[in-house]
Amino acid sequence: MYPEQAPHVPAQRAVEVHQPTPYPPAVPVSAPLVPVQPGTVPAVASIVLPDGRVVTGYAINPAQPEPVAAKPAVSRTAVNVALGGAGFLAVCGGLVLLTSFIAALTAFITQLIILAAVIFGGWIAVQLFSAHGHRSGGTTVNIRKAVIKRNHFHS
């Protein structure tokens, strides 16, 4: 009679774990392994369960684990962090170069403005001093006469 069909009280049933005891393989361990053609019948193995049942079947070769893919020497996270850091440094370097380029351009434009002011101021000075020849105080005389006329001083 199988244990599932035996009358029992569920509260009184004890839990026991039984490990099956396998029979030794039919092929002796010391014998060299010889490739067998698929037409032969493999050896049959039997296992006795703790409740007395016998399970018979063909022996299954243990499954060979899949070869593990070779992991890269450096983790992907480390590569991503390194690339992100390199990108960040490139952006920072670009900003430093842009800032120094803008500062140099500003200084160059300032020097051009100063040079233009000096040249234009020199041109104006040449025009003022050479307009009436080299008369001594000719302009000052005209200004004094205008001021005197405006204030109604007659000579």
Q: What is the pLDDT of residues 113-155, one digit of tens each?
A: 999 999 999 988 888 887 655 555 444 445 555 555 555 555 5
Identify whether the C-beta of residue 45 lies closer than 8 Å to the C-beta of residue 25.
Answer: yes
Return the pLDDT at 106: 97
Return the pLDDT at 62: 73
- C-alpha separations of 97 from 88, 101, 103, 111 in Å: 14, 6, 10, 21
When pLDDT is cut at 50, 70 and 90, the band that residue 74 belongs to is confident
When pLDDT is cut at 50, 70 and 90, the band that residue 89 belongs to is very high
Q: Which two tokens stand for residue 80?
A: 């991503």
CA dihedral 26, 27, 29, 30 (to 10 degrees): 140
- Is 0.85 topped by the overall pTM? no
Residue type, 110: T
The one-character DSSP state at 27 is S
Backbone angles phi, psi at 31, to 5 degrees: -75, 140
When pLDDT is cut at 50, 70 and 90, the band that residue 66 belongs to is confident
12-64 residue pLDDT tens:
556 676 777 777 666 555 656 666 555 666 677 778 888 888 888 776 677 78
Backbone angles phi, psi at 35, to 5 degrees: -60, 135
